Structure formats: structure tokens, C-alpha cells
Structure 1
Amino acid sequence: MATLISGATRADDPVTDFFLGGIEDKAENLMEKARSEANAVAWGVADAAKSVIEAWKLSNAELLDKAFSGLSVQQRELFNNMDETLTRLENNQELVVRDAEKLTAEWSGVIKNLPFTNHDPEVLNYRPRVIVPIGEGTVPLVVTGPKLSSAEPSFNSSGKAMPVGRSTDHELLVQLNRGDLTFEETKSSFAQYKLTFDSKAFSWWQPWTWWSRDRITRDTTIWLLPKQMAAFTIVPMLPSEDVAAGTYGVQVGARGKDSAYPQNVPLAPLWVDQGYVYDAVAIAQNKFFSDAGGDKASCSGAKIDSIGPLKFTFMIQLGHRTVGGSKRDAWVNCNLALPIVKKTPSRVVGDEISGVLNWTDDKLQPLPEDTLDYTISLKMFNGRTHVLTKETSDPSGVVTVERVKQGILFKPKPPRDF
């Protein structure tokens, strides 16, 4: 864990001026940046951190001028953890969604346990800040703040009143219908609510509160994630060959009478050692040879069924010469310009494959049968794009990517509302 706070704080540094104000500024900057980048995870965590600090300062005014070292171990750990988390987000490091769920829940719990006995009604926190398109039909929205239950709270959306439950003196409960929320297909949207309450809580033993109707309005903004969790692009790597062509020149010849003469033509070791073989198809076309002089004989060409990678049989047709009424040997020389090739295994980029993922359904994306490797680009719901290989996984933690026999299997792991 980071030690930024304890390492940088002097014994007489007040908590609020030196540290809490810095975290608040960091949280506000992150919220603005996250909203511009459509990063719901960062926005929700930064907003939750900001609420915790504001609530803690309100509840612990007497500690604000004390040194950081004077806080309890739990309080120091809370602020250290908060600062470390925001710094990670500030440095564009990914925060796993499960961590966001855990942190916002823990930080909301901190606010619930703060003492607000002497404070007027106020909204200090609400949860969830981010709602996913799938889940239970009812989403419990919990609003926390001192004396809200006795401050005649009312909650509305676009002017339409909604029932408000009171869980404790400092906690309100509004049941949102997930089906009434508008989730866009590919981009985030926001649900805006207004909570109105009296500036002074009603107490039967304080008559001056009986007719107090100074109303305060607070806005509650909830980030609605898109129905499409991610769009993916897969670029497969397929097997290929690099081909280098050359020519092996050699001369062969024969002498004899009235016969077909087979001449074995092995590929020279010089070429074999470099990885070359005969180009069998080109040799079979029999366009690689020419006569280099002779008498009553001719160069016929390759014996097709003899052509191999390192040797073949070249046929020479011999006739005869007639001298003084007798048959004499015929002869011929043949120049061969033999086509050779060297094939080296390589890889080539295949056709791009694209698709989309939702929050609930597994997706099996077939790959070309001979795929050697692949690269996946995932454009996630939070505005971030990640490039994955066989050795990496989605850093946001909401989908697993597996290489299976049939292709790529995407398995969503939908988060809870947080």
C-alpha cells in the first residue's frame, strides 16, 4: 500500500488543509475527466470518495486541525486507501469493477457509521451511483445524511413523485424500477432525481420546528451503463510462406545409339544447404532446357513421375550416325536452367472479425481453422479500449476471454449496481 500520507506529513500538519482538501480536488478532477471519457467506473469511485470526505469533515470538525498522525488507525487506512485508489485512476490505471463495487460499499458504510447528532438535515451520500441494464427488477437507492428521515423528504423524477422509505433516522430508501430506466444501446446515459427536504428536522419537543418549511433540494445523478457491454475486433494470424525463387544451371549430356537415355540430375549441395528444393511444377512444364550441341540426338525433358524436391530424371533421346554404312553413336549436350524455390514458414494477418457483447450471454466467435494466434481489441462500456492476446485478459474484470477449440469464447461476468 502507498505510504504517501505518512511519509509526507509533518507532525503539525492539519488533516484538512494538507490532505483531505487534496483528495477532494483529485476526486473532482477525476469526476470531470471520467465523465468526458464515459468512464463510469472511475466516475462512481471518485464521487463516492468525495462524499466520504465531505461527510467525515462535517462529522469530525474537531479533528480537522489535528495532524494526520493523530487519527485512528482505521481513519488513516481509509484515507490512504482512498488516495491510492484515486492516484491509480489519475494515472490511467484500470480499476477492476469488482474493486469499485467493494470500495463504494465500504465507503458508504463509513458514512453510515458517522455521528451526525448535532447537524441539520443534509444529503451526504447515495448508492448506487452506477446501474447496470440487467439485474433484479427493483433497484434500492439508499440516501444517507443526518436527520433526513424526520425532514419530510420527497423524491421525484422529472416532476413525478416517488415513494420514500425511511430505514433509519439517517437513511432513506427509494425503490427504483429498473424497467423504467432508459438504457441506451451503445453509450452511457444519466438518470437525474431530486430530493427535497426541510432545512430543519421536525421534533415534537421543539415547537419552532413544527411549521418550519424551508425546503432544500439536492440533485442525485446516477450513471446508466449501456446495454452493449463491449464491442470486439479480432485480428487472426494465419500460416503463410515466404517464397524465394532461383535458378540452378547445369549441363548434362549423353552418347549412344537408338535409345532413351535417363540422366539423373541431383540438386547441388550448395543450394540444398540453403534450404532450396526443385520447383516441381515449373520443371514439369519442360521449358527449362536447350540443346548445347550434338549430332543425331536431342534433349527430351524431365520424366514427370521422377521429379522430387532434390532430384529428378532428365531424358535424352539418342539416334545414330551412319558412317560408311555402319551405325555410330549419336551424342548431345543439354543446358538446364532449373527453377528452384525456398519456402520459409511465416504468418499473415487474416481478415478482421467484429462483433458485440451484452451483459448476459456467452458469445462464441469462430476463428479460421488454421489460426496460429490472434489479437483482440475490446472497446468497453466504460470508454476504455483494451488490446488482449492469448496471454492477457480483460482488466476491467467483467468478461473472461477463452481460446477454445471452436474459436474465442467470451463469458460476461456482470457487476452489481455500485
Structure 2
Amino acid sequence: MTEQGVRRTADQVLALAPDAASRKAGSKLGAAGPWSEAGSGEGAVWGLCKGSGSKPYQTVVDLAGAAGPAYKCSCPSRKFPCKHALGLLLLWAGGDGSVPASAQPPDWAGQWLAGRRSRAETKRVQQAEGGAAADPEAARRRAERRAERVTAGATELERRLTDLLRGGLASAEQAGYALWDETAARMVDAQAPGLAARVRELGAIPASGAGWPVRLLEECALLHLLDQGWLHRDRLPDALAATVRTRLGLPAAVEGPPLRDRWLVLAQYDTADAKLTTRRIWLHGAGSGHTRLLLSYGAAGRAPELALPVGLALDAELSVHAGAGQSRATLGERFAAPAPAAFRPPGVTTGEAAARYGEALRDDPWLESVPVTLDRVTPVPDGDLWQLADADADSALPLSRTARSRPGLWRLVALSGGAPVTVFGECGHRGFTPLTAWPEDAGEAVPLC
């Protein structure tokens, strides 16, 4: 393993934190005071952090793992990374000599690094051998059994939607969440997590304010369309059938050979529920011009393992998942550490962004949003709301409710200062959600989430 060649910025380090409390505590430990015997080398950073006990905490971060940084600390925290790992990375990111380059890590760090990398190599070999030795007939039978359960679940959901419409939408308001929670549980039993997630969203619509019957009817229609797509999947084009499978939550096959490119890390953000933390990472290929989405998961309360620094580019292969209009990909082999990038994705106007979303809906009617880079836009207030207005055209996009509730909105306003900026984000029927911005002149990417 070679030394990680690029230091992360403080924002990139804090983006690894599992929660706000960890970010705050880690920031306090990003100074040299509590640290001793800190060093870096062989793709790792290590150090001893003075705590409340008699012995300092032994902290080490492996920066050379294929899936992103890995952390080890002798503190009792169950968070990954803990505040000590965050503080150590912040100290290293400062580049003031507090974490000098060393020839070899100390024994306590070296043993963990060697063991982890040995296990990772063993796992890689086993996966390669297991993939070749897998029983295709057994896999086919498992897929058939799951398809039968999904079909039973979709058929039952159709009956429940029919009963709802026959009884009138007012019954949904009277039933509350209980109706939808029980239906969602049945979809989980049918191994259709995508259906379960959409059903749960229906439960919140009757309490969403004026006009809820229209919104509920629209969502029921989309759910019915998804059901029918699965029940008649043999009549669909292959790409659309693959999209239906993806929306139901079934695994999607990889399509075509891996694509190697210099992938700019556009954005990274997490969403969480009671059981799972989902990390979304958007990448843009310098040569291909493609924008792709990586998904990574972690148990509740834990940050997913994969983490990539926003604004840097990595030389790597991506494998794209099948499906019409799908942008999801899987990260393959990486050929170099992330490095500074001078390029940005080409931008469009707000009108072109809205049209791009409309065109994407033809391939995937259930699509919530598309990745878009807006060129020369300015954040401006619109009454109690905000919008991004074109500097060179008479058009604008409203910001989504999610964007208006994030601190990143004020970071975007401050970065703009009334001048045009370049903004990458997600454009959909709920508005535009900005994720990363660049000043109009040369400047580093500023994460907004």
C-alpha cells in the first residue's frame, strides 16, 4: 500500500461523521494538544489521544481500503468513525507538521492494518472464486421463488388499492397510519421492499395539508402502475422490465463491461431511518460525460463504509446497473488515490433541467429526480420560499422543501453573495435540491449537504 497522496479538507473529513454530535466533538480534537506519537505512512494515519483515563486512546485510520477509510480506536464509542478518528484526520488535514510522515506505523497500529488488509485480500479472492463456482441452477430456483412471493404481494396490493378507491379516499384519512403500516409489512413479507417503502409514504399524505386527496390519488396511480408493470413484465421491453425490478427492490444485474474514467465526486449525503443509513454518492466522468450514483449502506447509527471526498476525482472503474433511465452503478477497481480535479460537469439552464426531468420520466415513471448541474444561477427569495434564477434567462427553479430545511441553503447564499454560481443537485417534481456549488470563477467545490 502506498501513502494516500491527497489530504482531505476539514469539510471532507467532517462529512465522514455519523452524526452532528460526532462532528462537534471531533472538531474539538482536531488540534495538536491532546495528541502524541502521531504519524502517517503506508496509506494510514495513527496517533495517541489523551482521554479521561490513565492510558491514551490508540487511534488508527486506514486510508488505502478499496471501499474507503476504515477506523480503529481503543475508546468505548460504538460510532464509526468516533470523535478521536475524526480529530486525528482533522489534525492530519491541517498539514502543519503535527502528523509527520513516518517510515513504519507502531506495532499496535501495524498489526491492525496488516490483519485488516490480509482479510480484505482473502475476501476478494473468495468472492472471485465463489462467483465462478456459484451454482446457476440454485440461483435460478431462488430467483423463481422470490418472484412468486413478489407476485403474490403485488396481487394483494392491487386488491387493497381497489378496496380503497371503492370505499372512497376519505376512508384513508379515517384509517390513519395503521392501514398502511400493516400493508407495508405484508409487502416486506413478500420480499418487495420497494413496494413497502412506497406504501409507507401513502400513510403521510392525508395529513399533508390541503389538496391531499389529489396527491394520494396520484401516488396510488403510480403504485398501481408499478404493480401492473411487475404482473405483466413479460410484455415489457427488457430495459423497462429491469427498471420495474429495481423499483420493487429486487437486485439489478450489471449491464455491459466496467467503464474506466476519471470520476469527479460531485456530492455525498446520508439519509437514515430506524434500521438503515443510506449514503448516496454522485460521480461525473471526465471522459464519458456520464453521471452515476453509488449507494452504500450502514446499520442504524453507523455511517456506511464507502466515503469519497467531494471535489476530488478518482481513476476507477464503474459497472452500470441495468434499467431504462437508471443511473446507479457499482464501484470497481480503483487505480489511484483521489486527486484534485480542475474540471466541472457542463451546466444547463433551469428550463433545460426541468425538460431533462420530464424526458427521464418517459423511461422511468417512478423517478423522483435526476442529477443536474445548473450553470450561472443565483439563489433568490420568493416570498417565504427560495428559488434558483438563471442569470442569463427569464426562468427559475423552486428549491425543494428538503433544501429549504438544510443549513446548506445559507452556505449557498453566502457563496453566491448575489453573483451567479454553478450548482449541482437533484431536480424533480418537488423542486431542486442543491448538493454542491462552485463560485463562478475558479474555486473548490463547496458541499451543501
- TM-score normalised by L of structure 2: 0.21
Higher-RCO chain (CA-CA 8 Å, sequence separation at least 6) = 1
Q: More strand by proportion, 1 or 2? A: 1
